[in-house]
Amino acid sequence: MAYLLKFLDIFRWKKHYGREWGIQKIFMDFIKERMNRIMSKVYIFFVDGFEDIEGLTVVDLMRRAGIDIETVSIRESREITTSHGIEMKTDRVFKETDFSDADMLVLPGGMPGTKYLGEYQPLCDLLRDFYERGGKVAAICAAPTVLASLGFLEGRNATAYPSCMKGLAGAKPSLESVVIDGNVTTSRGLGTAIDFALSLIGQLLGDEKADEIAESVVYSRK
C-alpha cells in the first residue's frame, strides 16, 4: 500500500507542474479502483431459514465487483440450510470472526431466518456498535424489522416486505424498491434483490461500477 501512495504523490506533483500524460489518468483511475476494492469489506449474516436469493444475490454481485464479502453463520457450525432447503457452507462462523475491518454489514430476509437473526444477541450488539460509529448497515425483505427493533429506523425513510411494513417502528414507510437514508439501506424482497445489491455496490465503489456490473449480467437498472 505504501508504494501505491508514493506513486500517487508523484503523479500529483506532475499534475501540479503541468507535466501530465494521458496514461496518468488511466493509472490514477486504476489505482483508485483497486484501493477502493482493498478497503471495501462486507459481512453478510446467514442462519437456517434465510432467503436464498436475497442473500446470495448480494454475495454474487459484490464478488463480481471485486468487493471482499464474506458469509457468516451465526450458528456454531458453517453448515446452513436455506428457507428452501438448500444446504450450504458459509465462509465463517460469527464467534470466530473479527469484524473490525467491516465497511458494511448486511442482513438477508426470509423466515424463520430473520427471526433467528433478531434473537441472536451478539449480532444485535455488533450491529448497534457498528451503526453508532456511522457504519453502513443494510437489510432486505423481513430483515429491516431487525434494524427497526434496534432503533435504527427511527425517523428514517425505510421499506420492507409488504407484510412486514408494520414492523418498521418509527420509520417513514416507503414503497420504493431500495431506500437509502444516511447509513441505512433497506429493500423489499426477492424481486428487488438485484437492485439492492447494485445499490450497495454503488455506495462502496460508485455508480459507474454498479452500472458496469448491471450490464455484465444483462440487467437494466431502474
Distance CA 165, CA 167 (A): 5
Instruction: Choose, from 141, 143, 153, 214, the residue flagged as catalytic.
Output: 141
Contact present, 35 and 68 (Cβ < 8 Å): no
141: alpha, beta or left? (left if phi > 0; alpha if psi -120 to 50): left
Specify the 3-state DSSP secondary structure of 46.
strand
124 is catalytic: no
Q: Is 87 left (phi over 0), alpha (psi -120 to 50) or beta?
A: beta
Distance CA 204, CA 37 (A): 8
SS3 per-residue string spanning 108-171:
CCCCCHHHHHHHCHHHHHHHHHHHHCCCEEEEECCCHHHHHHCCCCCCCEECCCHHHHHHCCCC
Enumerate the active-site residues: 141
